[in-house]
Amino acid sequence: MRLEEATDMDLTRIALFDLADKRLAWVDKRQELLAQNVANANTPGWRSRDLTPFAAQLTQAEAAPVQTNPMHLPGAAGSSPNARPVPGQRAPDGNAVSLDVELTRIADTETTQALVGDLYKKYLGFFRTALGR
């Protein structure tokens, strides 16, 4: 579900929804790459591909946590628990796809998509409640 289709409110001006939309676009691209890796698991010479972690893309875009209150701890930009592991061993035909690794990445991506979608729906519900809809 895209932001524009979800509601007639202009949610693109709200940073949280913009971030959620960017994360969902990243998840969509990652899922496409992982599907290609699985589809080519028996293709000689195929090398597993993945996107850079989303947190790294935010760092490149110069998005960083903001300390809004001096009592709050400063945020740490760029750390990601989803950092891509170093490619493993290659098969004799040059293929470097490990189905176990790829299926784990796919499950992680699916979980991320569900989380972002649920958060988006929850916040949209808050706005609807606040507006009396």
CB 112 within 8 A of CB 80: no
Q: If you ran DSSP here, which 8-state letter would residue 63 be given?
A: -
**First vs last C-alpha separation in the chain:** 20
Give the position of tokens 């850079």: 52
Q: Which two tokens stand for residue 129?
A: 């409640």
Which segments of the chain have a pLDDT < 70? 1-13, 59-65, 75-89
What would the pLDDT profile of 36-63 be if each residue is shown by its tens digit?
989 988 888 888 888 888 877 776 655 5
Look at residues 4, 128, 123, 109 and name the one whose alpha carbon lies nearest to residue 53: 109
The predicted structure's pLDDT at residue 31: 92
Three-class SS state of 70: coil
